[in-house]
């Protein structure tokens, strides 16, 4: 930000030693009228790639839960709890990926709402059925989690 003669501009700072004359010349070349349209209208909209890390981690955790269930390390009684928690975490990561006002942002918003509802339903289902006996080979002998 330069300030010469009471006028401010947002140009890059001038190197030292050029004096006051070049700064005044710079202010004369600065456009007098503002550029039309906001920055959002002029910028190319790209997805936010910085927030994709948590989404990948949450998908990996969900995959590991599936692998452990396939190997019979996770009981049927505990599976809705773990999947529900993973889906809620995944929904929070997808909410961070959403960009406002774009089609991709609306898609991430919709997908994150669906995963949030699915995760909450999984937790609700686990809460309602946590004290009932589960028949079969995956029966957990503990009373509750």
Residue 70, number of CB atoms within 10 A of its CB: 9
Quote the pTM value.
0.57
The percentage of the chain sitting over the pLDDT mark of 90, rounded to a whole number, equals 33
pLDDT digits (tens, 9 = 90+) for 44-96: 555 555 678 888 999 999 999 999 999 999 888 899 999 999 999 999 988 88
Rounded to the nearest 10 degrees, what angle do helices 79-97 and 52-70 cross at?
160
**What pLDDT is stored for residue 105 in this prediction?**
83
**What pLDDT is stored for residue 38 in this prediction?**
56
**Tokens coding 35:** 């550029």
Domain residue spans in the chain?
54-129
Which whole number is the average pLDDT over 104-131? 91
Q: Where are the beta strands (DSSP E) in 2-144?
A: 2-4, 7-9
The percentage of the chain sitting over the pLDDT mark of 70, rounded to a whole number, equals 56
Residues 6+ apart with CB under 8 A from 82: 65, 74
């Amino acid at each position: 930000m330069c300030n010469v003669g009471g006028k401010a501009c947002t140009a890059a700072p001038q190197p030292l030693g050029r004096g006051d004359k070049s700064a005044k010349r710079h202010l004369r070349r600065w456009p007098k009228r503002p550029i039309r349209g906001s920055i959002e209208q002029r910028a190319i909209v790209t997805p936010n790639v910085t927030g994709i890390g948590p989404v990948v981690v949450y998908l990996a955790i969900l995959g590991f839960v599936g692998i452990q269930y396939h190997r019979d390390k996770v009981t049927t009684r505990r599976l809705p709890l773990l999947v529900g928690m993973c889906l809620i975490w995944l929904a929070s990561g997808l909410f961070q990926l959403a960009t406002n006002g774009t089609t991709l942002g609306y898609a991430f918003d919709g997908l994150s709402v669906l995963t949030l509802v699915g995760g909450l339903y999984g937790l609700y289902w686990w809460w309602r059925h946590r004290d009932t006996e589960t028949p079969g080979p995956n029966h957990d002998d503990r009373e509750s989690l």
